[in-house]
Structure 1
């Protein structure tokens, strides 16, 4: 089972966990991860099958 992207108005499935030092972790789609991970300190971790078990 997959989670939806946590960004408002997005209907894609989450594929990346973003570790954001100044906020909570977020599960986002690849499109949002590409933009958000450019911020200093943000770490993008691709989700694998084990994350959904």
Structure 2
């Protein structure tokens, strides 16, 4: 599990696992999850032990 967001240049804590059918799963912060989860087929799953709160 990633401690920080897997988006390049982001140092926020990872709070969401994105299941991406055409690529590898990603663990990202809530801000990046919000935009990426709007694509068809992507499923967002909150990480249970994340310190960040889901907005």
TM-score (norm 2): 0.84
* Higher radius of gyration, 1 or 2: 1
Question: 2: CA distance between counterparts of 1:7 and 1:35?
Answer: 12
Q: How does 1:29-44 map to 2 (within 5 A)?
A: 29-44=29-44
Length, aligned pairs only: 48
What do you get for the CA RMSD once the two structures are aligned?
1.0
Cα deviation for residue 16 of structure 1 reads: 0.1
- TM-score, normalised by the number of residues in structure 1: 0.87
Counterpart of 2:11 in structure 1 is 11
More helix per residue: 1
Deviation of 1:28 (Å): 0.1
